[in-house]
Structure 1
Amino acid sequence: MNRAAVAIFLVVLCSGCPKRIEFGPEGELTDADTVYQRVVKNQENVVTLEGDAKLRAELPDQSGTLSMFIAVTRPAMLHLETFDFFNRPLASLVSDGQRFGLYQADTNTWYQGPASPANVSRFLPVMLPGEELVPIMLGQVPLIPPERMTLELDRKKGVYVLTLHRGQATQVLDVHTKYLRIMKSQVRGIPGYDLGFEDFLEQGGLIFPGRVSLEAKQAKTKLQVRYQQIKLNARPDLTLYELVPPEGARVVEVDEAGRELPAGAPASGSSAPLAPGS
Structure 2
Amino acid sequence: MGRLVPAVTRSLDILELFLEGDGTLSAPDITRKLQLPRTTVHELVTTLAARNYLVPLPDQPGRYRLGVRTYQLGSRYEEQLDLAAEGKDVARQVAETCDETVHVAILEDMDVIYIAKVDSTHAVRMVSAAGRRLPAHCTSVGKMLLAALPAEELDIRIEEEGELAALTHNSITDPDALRAALAEIRERGVATEHRESNPDVSCVAAPVRDSAGRIVAALSISVPMIRWSEEREDELSELAGKGAADLSVRLGYRGGTR
The reply to whether TM is greater than 0.5 is no
- Ranked by relative contact order (alpha carbons within 8 Å, sequence separation 6 or more), the top structure is 1
TM-score normalised by the chain length of structure 2: 0.29
TM-score normalised by the chain length of structure 1: 0.28
- Give the structure with the larger strand fraction: 1
